């Protein structure tokens, strides 16, 4: 059975925005198995200094990530798109085991297979320590509410 994950390329502005929000929603679920299904079985990743190949490595990576990055909340925003590629910028907030808060900023380049699954993901990410009082992402665990501001609205 062939997997399909619409919207499919070539992307329009609206379909690219939809794809970005679907990815954000998946990551905010913090469910590694669910998130991995958005990627091809042989997907290639670069995430900071980690190089991954395939869903099993993605699941293992995300499982460890969300054990370490507690109270994770993510916002993604479309940067640009063309053909079967999308570039996004993002920020997420999280707390470490010592209860220090962080905001991680980054950019991702995505390439999709014809079936709508992501086959390449390249992420560059920087972490900035923040005070708890400087947190901006306060929704309950899970999907960011539709009325919560995005990155540009928050001045990020």
Domain coordinates in residue numbering, the chain: 13-134
pLDDT of residue 3: 82
Q: What is the pTM of this model?
A: 0.96
Assign 14 to helix, strand or coil: helix
The residue with tokens 């370490």 is: 68
pLDDT of residue 2: 64
Domain 13-134: state its class.
alpha beta
For 114-142, the DSSP string reads: TTS-EEEEEEEEEEEEE-GGG----SPSS
pLDDT averaged per 10 residues, the chain (length 156):
86 98 98 97 96 98 98 98 98 98 98 98 98 97 97 97
The residue with tokens 């707390």 is: 95
Distance CA 111, CA 127 (A): 25
Q: Are 98 and 120 in contact (CB under 8 A)?
A: no
**For 36, phi and psi rounded to 5 degrees?**
-60, -25
């Amino acid at each position: 059975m062939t997997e399909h994950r619409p919207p499919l390329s070539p992307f329009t502005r609206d379909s690219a925005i939809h794809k970005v929000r679907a990815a954000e929603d998946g990551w905010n679920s913090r469910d590694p198995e669910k998130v991995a299904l958005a990627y091809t079985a042989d997907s290639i990743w670069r995430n900071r200094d980690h190089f991954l190949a395939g869903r099993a490595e993605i699941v293992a990576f995300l499982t460890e990530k969300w054990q370490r990055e507690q109270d994770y909340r993510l916002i993604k925003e479309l940067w640009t798109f063309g053909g079967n590629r999308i570039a996004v910028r993002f920020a997420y907030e999280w707390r470490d085991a010592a209860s220090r808060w962080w905001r991680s900023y980054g950019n991702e380049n995505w390439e999709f297979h014809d079936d709508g699954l992501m086959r390449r993901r390249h992420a560059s990410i920087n972490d900035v320590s923040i005070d708890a009082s400087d947190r901006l992402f306060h929704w309950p665990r899970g999907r960011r509410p539709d009325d919560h501001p995005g990155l540009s609205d928050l001045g990020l």
